[in-house]
Amino acid sequence: MARKPAKKAATKKAANPNLDQQSNVPKPPEPKRYEASQEELLGLYKQMLLIRRFEERAGQLYGLGLIGGFCHLYIGQEAVAVGLQSAMTVGKDSVITGYRDHGHMLAYDIDPNVIMAELTGREAGISRGKGGSMHMFSVEHGFYGGHGIVGAQVALGTGLAFKHKYSGDGGVNLAYFGDGAVNQGQVYESFNMAELWDLPIIYAIENNQYAMGTSIKRSSSEPELWRRGHSFQIPGIQVDGMDVLAVRGAAEVALEWTRGGNGPIILELMTYRYRGHSMSDPAKYRTRDEVDSFRGERDPLEQCKQELLKMGASEDELKAIDNEIKERIKESAEFAENAPEPEAHELYTDVLVENY
């Protein structure tokens, strides 16, 4: 029997500098820490401080029984929403998130009055008192919720990205989800569709270390979540989510990547929540020393404050800003407490989409 001709040796392809040589996944530029002016950094600090003081007051109102149902506070994670959304364009881009949504709305410059009124179930709330803490929504601001089902918003965000591409409006969707949602099946269905169609979406994984009370190391065989898109050829970047300028720098790279027609990208923001998963969670699964370590050494507001002081800001100036924001949040709480509750006929409104 005649021998089959020997196969020719495969020609080795030249290394592509735009590919990660270990995973063969497209590789975006390495993010650099954003170089903010003192004025820019002060603006970021004010936004983070507004979120911190708002959430502290929301926790107090929950304790007084003025906020019902579930309530998930964003304290400790402020640098993520502020760093990412400060780089986005309101009215052009869109944002969608899960149930820990107060901070994301405030980072989009939505009036604290209507957010606090929504938390307390008042008609003056941004969803007319029917959304509560987890289901706030504002098409006018390009904010599409607030979703109570873990990971459900990822598929919806992918749909919003499809809308941006289909209409050619140049917008990008920012879809937040947590380390507790990364193992949901619809997340991977979304990854596949987004890469297949080159959709303009940033998948922002807020890794606050715990899915309710379960550590990421106990729930995920691959704890480096920025790698989760590699089998779909989606690049990922891990970011210090406690440093607002590091987050802003990563946001600039991610937006340039998606707006450039390169499809989706994953950002894993390493962050930490100081409070329990929700207001009903005593957080006994972690030690006080662990929480104090993050508060004392990596607090996003304190890091930003120290940087401002080095730039020339004064302690008195920053204290005055804090007092001003505290007064603003006090006013929003009073507004919410004094606003009327929805009337009975509101039960029958917003059931179906009337204007699209």
Q: How far apart are CA 59 and CA 54, in angstroms?
A: 9
Specify whether the CB–CB gap between 48 and 82 falls below 8 A. yes
Residue 267 — φ and ψ, nearest 5°? Answer: -115, 125
- pLDDT at 125 (0 to 100): 93
Q: How far apart are CA 38 and CA 215, in angstroms?
A: 37
At the topology level, CATH places domain 29-336 in: Rossmann fold (3.40.50)
Q: Among all chains, which residue has been given the structure tokens 């920053």?
A: 318
- pLDDT at 18 (0 to 100): 65
- pLDDT at 71 (0 to 100): 87
Domain limits, the chain: 29-336
Residue 162 — φ and ψ, nearest 5°? Answer: -60, -40
Specify whether the CB–CB gap between 230 and 23 falls below 8 A. yes
Tens of each residue's pLDDT in the chain, 356 residues: 444 444 444 333 344 446 665 668 889 999 999 999 999 999 999 999 999 999 999 999 989 999 888 888 998 999 999 999 999 998 899 999 998 989 999 999 999 999 999 999 999 999 999 888 889 888 889 999 889 899 999 999 999 999 999 999 999 999 999 998 999 999 999 999 999 999 999 999 999 887 777 778 888 888 899 999 999 999 999 999 999 999 999 999 999 999 999 999 999 999 988 876 767 666 777 788 877 778 888 999 999 999 999 999 999 999 999 999 999 999 999 999 999 999 998 888 888 877 65
- pLDDT at 356 (0 to 100): 52
- pLDDT at 1 (0 to 100): 43
Specify whether the CB–CB gap between 60 and 90 falls below 8 A. no
